[in-house]
Amino acid sequence: MTVALLTASGTGSRMGQDIPKQFLHVKDKPVIIYTLERFQNNPQIDAIVLVTLPNWFGFVEAYAAQFGISKLKWIVAGGETGQESIRNGLEAIAKDCPEDTTVMIHDGNRPMVDNNIISDSLAVFRQYGSAVAVIPCTEAIFRSEDGKTSTVSIPREALLRTQTPHTYTLKKLLWAHEQAKLRGITNQAASCTLMHELGETVYFSRGSEKNFKLTTLDDLEIFNAFLDAEKKNWLK
């Protein structure tokens, strides 16, 4: 069984809007629904858990019914940190699913994740036991101590930018969060950095520049443009 765990419990303060970014409407549809639809429509995903804000549970249920998100099995309250939110989602899955369940953790505000990214994540996971979506660095990179100057350039060929999904077994993720609790690790929102801190090897799957995270108003405009481009391609 493969479960998608979508995190969408942030307040979206950097957007400067009256409602959280995951519930902002783009072309008459909430952002979170676009993300949910990507996993709903992928045949390799069996169920979805959404970790979000408790005050929005009713809206999520209504949206799921309206847009046919039948795979949404759990709606869970987020925690004080991203790490805690993920743990809450894992504990909800663990109540109903065996430890060998495959869990694909994904940011709810990455609505452009596609079937190729999902499929490659699962393929790498099946080969190595874990998978983290990444894309290469294409810009020149400098390290700066003051944010104004630098004398240190870092070769971009050695750098990768992580995205989501992050795919592991439920057992492995529960182990990692239990270890984090024992060691006092409290704010590792990315499962890959938590695993790295625990000494685990990180294996990479293919991400995409389109699989970007909606953080600012500029990102919303880019997302809107991508939707227009997808529609035009479909019409041709």
236: which strand partners? none
3-state DSSP percent of the chain in helix, strand and coil, to 5? 45, 20, 35
Instruction: Place 213 in a pLDDT band, splitting at 50, 70 and 90.
Output: very high
Provide the sign of the torsion angle of the four alpha carbons 55, 57, 61, 64, taken in this order.
positive
pTM (predicted TM-score): 0.92
Q: Which residues of 194-213 are buried (b: 16+ CB within 10 A; e: fewer)?
A: bbeeeebebbbbbbbebbbe
pLDDT exceeds cutoff 90 at 232: no
Tokens at 192, concatenated: 């890959």
Instruction: Place 12 in a pLDDT band, splitting at 50, 70 and 90.
Output: low
Angle at which helix 170-183 crosses helix 82-96, to 10 degrees, equals 130
Angle at 228 between CA 211 and CA 132, to 5 degrees: 10
d(CA 135, CA 210): 10
Amino acid at 96: D
pLDDT in tens, 188-204: 989 999 999 999 999 99
Instruction: Place 16 in a pLDDT band, splitting at 50, 70 and 90.
Output: low
Mean pLDDT of the 37-41 span: 98
d(CA 68, CA 62): 10
**Integer angstrom CA distances of residue 5 from 12, 64, 157, 184:** 19, 15, 31, 24
Mean pLDDT of the 41-53 span: 98
d(CA 163, CA 154): 20
Query: Which residues, 6+ apart, have CB-to-CB distance to 212 below 8 Å?
Result: 110, 112, 163, 219, 222
pLDDT exceeds cutoff 80 at 27: yes
